[in-house]
Chains A and B, each alone.
Chain A
Amino acid sequence: MSTVPARTAQDLTADVAGGIGHSPQRPDGVLKVRGEFAYSSDLWADDMLWGATLRSPHPSARIRGVDTSAALALPGVYAVLTHADIPGPSKHFGLVVSDQPVLAIDEVRYQGEAVAVVAADHPETARRAVAAIRVDYAVREPVTDAAAARADDAPRVHPDGNIVRYARIRRGDPAPTADVVVRGEYAIGMQDQAFLGPESGLAVPAADGGVDLYVATQWLHADQRQIAPCLGLPQDKVRLTLAGVGGAFGAREDLSMQIHACLLALRTGRPVKFVYSREESFFGHVHRHPATLSYETGATRDGKLVYVKGSVVLDGGAYASSTPAVVGNATSLGAGPYEVPNVHMDVWGMYTNNPPCGAMRGFGSVQAAFGYESQLDRLAAALGLDPVELRLRNALHQGSTMPTGQVVDSAAAVREILTAVRDMPVPPTDPGTDPLGLPGGAGNTTHGEGVRRGIGYAVGFKNVGFSEGFDDHSTARVRLGVVGGEPVAVVRTAAVEVGQGHVTVQQQIARTELGVDRVVIPPADTSMGNAGSSSASRQTYLTGGAVRAACRAVRDRVLDRARARTGVRDGLDLAGGNVVDAGGAVLVPLAELLADGEIDETAVYRPRRTAPMDPDTGRQDFAHLQFAFCAHRAVVDVDTELGLVRVVELAAAQDVGKAVNPGALVGQIHGGSVQGMGLALMEEIQVEGGIVRNPSFTDYLIPTILDTPPMPVEVLELADPHAPYGLRGVAEPPTISAAPAVVAAIRAATGRPLTRIPVRPQDITG
């Protein structure tokens, strides 16, 4: 395997304490563990008002009238706004398509849609004011079946029809045949990101007529771009600063309270704070698209894939959000990380009156993977082949051609990661009799009765960075100066720390590139250039690339100064706060060189540009920047009589190109694995007739530590020569393969087909 790191191996392993390849302490770690970290919900201004939102109780209704007079009459209420109060020019927002009203205009399209907002001097007053607003709804029958919504005569959620995006792939033989064919229908429930810090922020009106917004988000510039036109302000009068973010996983990519807070602040001339409650949070952000999938997979008798035909319907809910991009992923990645000569994919992203769905970790790949991996297991059974062996015979590798026609131009370690998880030691087969170690756990439901062991495998993959022609880039500014006699680097970007540890990575890069210990990361804000979203597993690649580029520009100037000062021309390097010669001897301390003035450089990093897929065939040689792969082996014990599952072990192997921060990276793989396991076993927003039945952590269950098994991880570092330091995005792939692996293990234990996730106890007991 060729490993061509972007720098020499020696450079990369050169021991910069807290540099690349180390796992230094996070700058925000101690505060977060001690509960002292200021999250967006802790924001405070002395004269601030509290915002609150009136939401629709109906998934679909016409609004005949809104009467705010009783609310306005309440003492302590400063403003009650409806869509009529939005200055415009735009009254809509949206990540890709601007289709969502800031406040409902004459109709509501999902339960929880914002209809009016209030600012009052106390949260309780604001709540009462919301309750005092009278809305006259004419309730309509909601459109709730995404597949049925495709029909020409289906009632329309939006005037232009219900299809947000349809994409397809036609590769190879239009009517392929094969020795062995398996078919399957699969379904995926609506998963929530379930972050801990509810939507919140503080908008402060500014003297220049603009507004300063402090908010927990994923992408400052996308927020700014959508907010400004609704306020009737130029972009530069809407300034955003990142507040403490309590998790995101995609749910903060869309706007929630941002425009509402700014509108109220500008209207009242007072700072306005919003904090959603947990229940409101379930209505305040998008979820993972539920999906129905229909697959047909054909292979030769000796287990070579001949074709994959897949059709996928993704329920996007009431507004588009990032549905178009989710459709793109499910289409282009829908055949799985395999070599398949003939591929037909048809993928629809639909409007319905269900809750809006958009970005969530894994983004279209999670849904497709449950389909294609379930199919591979069916095929293995039909062929009498070991499921891992079947996957190995078809594994994608460097040089393989994707269904789009794109040739994989760096490591695709599908074979390596599958064999890695297969060859890890298997946990002992006897689960013992302690209920805590058995399915049902603390409930004491079995002492071993009815328990059967199963093992399952899955592999998944995901594009890293924005695809299909998006101008993906990031910006960083690095200043090297002296504070207290010591060299200090200040790294500024607009990249958002959502908990993934990006600020640590920025520090590590600056240490490695500049040979300094102290690196300061001021809060991200829109005074810096666009960094893109903290999503798509892209921030270490993109903003990491920008920080590296800016550091290198600084470094070049430092070394120029050093050459001028010392007369030494060659082999200069930065280390330990000094300029050193080729032998490592100190030539001049940085602090001395910087006495002539600090050095300040800004760099924009642009990786190779992708391009859109052909709408008829899906053909595109470079739709995706990079692919990242993860494999799981799940070992489960199932109480076959009660349908309860205990995951005994969830082993993962992933190629990361370069482990920039091994500690944080394994944390990402662990977290992603548990999130995937949660989807397999319990995480579902239950929606009935457009109504959410479980908007609380009482009934939206996520795995607890007692559900979390040991998770051995094997990390491979097969450098991608195109990426900074050879790295590969890490965060999403583990979420993709975990769910199909867990379900495969349950199938192995029970013999049941289990075509829907989450798997419920009654699906196992039948």
Chain B
Amino acid sequence: MDFLRPRTLDEALAMRAERPDAVPIRGGTDVMVEMNFDRRRPGALLDLAGLAELDTWHRTADTVRLGAGVSYARIMAELADPLPGLAMASRTVGSPQIRNRGTVGGNLGSASPAGDAHPPLLTAGATVEVASTRGTRLVPAADWYLGVKRSALAADELITAVHVPVAAGPQQFAKVGTRNAMVIAVCSLALELAPATGAVRVAIGSAAPTPRRCPDAEAYAGAEFADRRLWTVGSPLPAVLVQRFGELVAAAADPIDDVRSTAAYRRTALAVLARRTLTWAWREFRDGGRRCA
């Protein structure tokens, strides 16, 4: 097996085009597991570590361009302010060792329905930037996930960055696992409030063949918040609203029974997570509102 070490992104893209049998590797926290378990025997590894183009992030007024090779540990340390949802999700990934190595680019590359970065990318309306010797294109996160561990990435492309809008309101992330750390999600949920547009956005992981948004729940909450003038009144959320929101999130799931849990439990848990994160985000909005006033 060859180990290809490009020095620049251009070199990497050229190698990617020449060697269709080469598997990109960044943190290796998915690739090496696959190889150890003998599920993958690539002809070559294309090492993306140390490519400056991938390992940096830039912030503009309303967007963070997050290099595909930035680790979870760095996201937690450096981006918790503009990207709280993604930082919260990063905190739930694996162990300190995994968070030091693992990247959002790798999470997108694997496109596992259980990947923790996906739900906050979906709620934020992030865009995946991919490149090849043919050029660069932008893929909305919502179009990225095609099936279980299948993504929109073409065979000659590399993920270069993710463009994530800066949080415009409270964001939350919660993940259920059967132990208190270092566990693959039984189910997960990201939620954010966008007071400026009145939107409530919610996405779920490990609950369907792909991570997905929950349009009915979002529409319901958006309408209720508007009808009840909650954004301006800022009163506590009515229990019926919270309850119904949870039900609609659960209904958006298409879960399965597997070795980690049951479909029925996943639905139950998603409803609970939806109710709680909505309540937390709303509390944060109200507290923030009061602080501003």
Interfacial residues, chain A to chain B (CB-CB below 8 A): 127, 277-279, 436, 439-447, 449-450, 641-644, 646, 681-682, 686, 693-694, 696, 698-699, 701, 703-704, 706-707, 760-762, 765
Contact = CB atoms under 8 A, between A and B. Distances in A.
Given A761-B186, A761-B269, A701 B175 contact: no
B128 to A, nearest CB: 25
A444 B120 CA distance: 14
Given A444-B174, A682-B178, A703-B179, A279 B92 contact: no
Nearest to B264: A762
A644 B268 CA distance: 13
Contact of B184 (A441, A698, A704, A760): A698
B176 A701 contact: no
B180 A646 contact: yes
Interface of B: 33, 36-38, 88, 91-92, 95, 172-186, 188, 259-262, 264-265, 268-269, 272-273, 276, 280
Nearest to B91: A442
Given A445-B174, A682-B179, A762 B276 contact: no
A444 B92 contact: yes
A699 B173 contact: no
17 contacts: A442-B92, A443-B175, A443-B176, A443-B185, A444-B174, A445-B175, A449-B276, A641-B272, A642-B176, A698-B33, A701-B178, A704-B182, A706-B182, A707-B179, A761-B176, A762-B262, A762-B265
Nearest to A438: B180
Residue among B33, B88, B185, B273 with the most chain A CB within 10 A? Answer: B273
Contacts of A762: 261-262, 264-265, 268
A698 B88 CA distance: 22
A686 B258 CA distance: 11
A696 B33 CA distance: 11
B259 A440 contact: no
Contact of A706 (B181, B260, B264): B181
Given A441-B180, A444-B173, A682-B179, A699 B259 contact: yes
Contacts of B182: 442, 704, 706
B85 to A, nearest CB: 11
Contacts of A646: 180
Most buried by B among A444, A446, A646, A693: A444
A449 B177 CA distance: 17
A704 B37 contact: no
Given A445-B273, A704-B95, A765 B180 contact: no
A446 B272 CA distance: 10
Contacts of A644: 176, 178
A641 B180 CA distance: 16
Nearest to A643: B265
Given A443-B183, A762-B261, 15 more contacts: A277-B38, A440-B174, A443-B92, A444-B92, A444-B175, A445-B175, A445-B272, A447-B276, A642-B272, A682-B178, A698-B184, A699-B184, A699-B260, A706-B182, A707-B180
Nearest 7 interchain pairs by C-beta:
A441-B180, A706-B181, A762-B265, A443-B175, A442-B181, A693-B259, A707-B180
A446 B276 contact: yes
Contacts of B180: 436, 439-443, 646, 704, 706-707
Contacts of B264: 762
Q: Is the interface of A mostly helix, strand, loop or mixed?
A: loop
Q: Max chain A CB contacts within 10 Å: which of B88, B178, B180, B182?
A: B180
B237 to A, nearest CB: 14
Contacts of A693: 259
B278 to A, nearest CB: 12
Nearest to B280: A447
B95 A279 contact: no
A701 to B, nearest CB: 5
A446 B279 CA distance: 11
Given A707-B179, A762-B261, A765-B265, A444 B88 contact: yes
B261 A761 contact: yes
From B33, B259, B264, name the one whose CB has the most chain A CB atoms within 10 angstroms: B259
B259 A694 contact: yes
Contacts of A704: 95, 179-182
A642 B269 contact: yes
Contacts of B272: 445, 450, 641-642
Nearest to A705: B181
Given A761-B269, A762-B264, A445 B176 contact: yes
B176 A440 contact: yes
Contacts of B91: 442, 444
Contacts of A642: 176, 269, 272-273
A698 B177 CA distance: 12
A693 B261 CA distance: 12
B97 to A, nearest CB: 12
Contacts of B174: 440, 443-445
Contact of A443 (B95, B177, B262): B177
A436 B186 CA distance: 18
Most chain-B CB neighbours within 10 Å: which of A279, A760, A761, A765? A761
Contacts of B37: 277, 279, 696
A643 B280 CA distance: 20
A48 to B, nearest CB: 22
B271 to A, nearest CB: 9
A760 B180 CA distance: 13
Nearest to B182: A704
Q: In this complex, which of A445, A446, A449, A686 has the most chain B Cβ atoms within 10 angstroms of its Cβ?
A: A445
Nearest to B268: A765
Given A644-B176, A696-B37, A445 B276 contact: yes
A550 B36 CA distance: 47
A444 B87 CA distance: 12
A590 to B, nearest CB: 50
B281 to A, nearest CB: 12
A642 B187 CA distance: 11
B260 to A, nearest CB: 7
Contacts of A681: 178-179
B68 to A, nearest CB: 24
A694 B18 CA distance: 38
Contacts of A278: 36
B173 to A, nearest CB: 7
Nearest to B33: A698
Contacts of A765: 265, 268-269
Nearest to A447: B280
A279 B36 CA distance: 9
A589 B184 CA distance: 63
A689 B184 CA distance: 25
A277 B265 contact: no
Contacts of A682: 178-179
Contacts of B175: 443-445
Nearest to B172: A444
A55 to B, nearest CB: 13
Contact of A277 (B36, B177, B188, B268): B36
B38 A127 contact: yes
